[in-house]
Amino acid sequence: MYIIQNSGWIEAIAGPMYCGKSEELIRRVRRAQIAKQKVQVFKPTIDDRFHSNTVASHDGSKVEAIPVDDPREMLNRVDRDTDVVAIDELQFFDQAVVGVCEELADRGHRVIVAGLDRDFRGELFGPVPEILARAEYVHKLHAICVRCGSLGTRTQRLIEGIPAAYTDPVIMVGAQEVYEARCRNCHEVRGRKRD
């Protein structure tokens, strides 16, 4: 991999739930911290999965993170001497986060972002597709389909064991829904046109 020097850049990690995005973001953050680089980690306030002041992965590893509402807050909160800016759950920010990431990279920071590329319906999720196009480095991760063991590229939403409907809201924080990783073939959405 060509190593960029003397400028910032954006590196993106994307995939469905359980593919290891947070794990990978935490791994990159830890390595930078071990190398005594200054790291600042952010997450949208909407993501209350485990604890409001941490980024946590499903296998239990975590790092401290600053929750922010508006992505533009990060422009003020990132210190000049920060080497690495890491942002998890990018899909929950509005489109303004794209410009914020570009601005941070322009200022010379290494910007690591992680997010869902598709929502539970299989549609593209918020600002993530554009970040994937703009990033210098893109890493797509896959989970394992819990039905058939194939490539887990989709996030299955189940409400009381039944596949969610296409018309359900994309963000249902706090609802009694369950998510699992599935492949293209096993992914089910009630009322999806192409089914």
Residue type present at position 179: Y
Minimum CB separation of residue 92 from ligand ADP in Å reads 13
Decide: is 91 part of the binding site for ligand ADP (CB under 6 A). Answer: no
Residue 183 as a binder of Zn ion (CB under 5 A): the answer is yes
Q: Considering CB distances under 5 to 8 angstroms, the limit depending on partner class, which of ligand ADP, Zn ion, none binds residue 147?
A: Zn ion
Q: Find the binding residues for ligand ADP in span 3-62 (CB under 6 A).
A: 15, 17-23, 57-59
Look at residues 64, 70, 31 and name the one whose alpha carbon lies nearest to residue 50. 64
At residue 100, the 3 state secondary structure works out as helix
Partner whose footprint covers residue 148, from Zn ion, ligand ADP, none (CB < 5 to 8 Å by kind): Zn ion
From CA 67, how far away is CA 155, in angstroms rounded? 24
CA distance between the termini of the chain: 40
State the alpha helices, DSSP H only, in 57-192.
73-77, 96-106, 128-134
- Toward ligand ADP, which CB reaches closer, 90 or 143? 143
The reply to whether 151 sits near ligand ADP by the rule CB under 6 A is no
> Binding residues for ligand ADP, per CB under 6 A?
15, 17-23, 57-59, 143-144, 146, 152, 181
